[in-house]
Structure 1
């Protein structure tokens, strides 16, 4: 098990899907998964400048912690601004979407409950 993951160790996997999650996305492989815990899992995510996701629902709870950049999140009919330090909780089944409103990457940590493990749907960035 790796105890420390430096930013230079992160391998970003590009996802440009006009449906879900959207355009300009990249995710890491799981950074916390069953080799550490079976209670939750976590990934790093990135939305490039101008990138966004269409409103969608997911079958699991997930929470986002924003590390870098600015953006907005839409949950149901409400919209909130995002900046570093913002935490967003999305309950399973809730319609939501994100957009990067800034000039730099919007970088975030996603925590999934129950655990979610990304498949091989990625293209290396």
Structure 2
């Protein structure tokens, strides 16, 4: 099989190195134009198992606000993002909630939780 070149920008530090990956038979053979070894690690992670942090808002009842911001506890594989967002948007949470409260645990067996990112009081507490 022919050698393929794939370009990506490393986001692990402010340098933003423009990486070039040499791919053969679906495997990375070399990573070029990196300034540090974090670039190599980033390229491998992004090529084989791309992940992203997910942030969203979930519905909450009896709170001083109608929605509460939530995020994943760590980056989740991209293939799970749509299903995760659907699950978050179906949530019906109840105030009060404290920052860091898991509202979804171990999503799809990934070991990744969805947690709140702020405190939210009930209407009575907030008045």
Shorter-chain TM-score tier: under 0.3
Q: Which has the higher contact order (CA 8 A, sep 6+)?
A: 1
Which TM-score applies when normalising by structure 1? 0.22
Please say which structure displays the higher CA radius of gyration. Answer: 2
Which TM-score applies when normalising by structure 2? 0.22
- Higher share of residues assigned helix: 2
- Higher share of residues assigned strand: 1
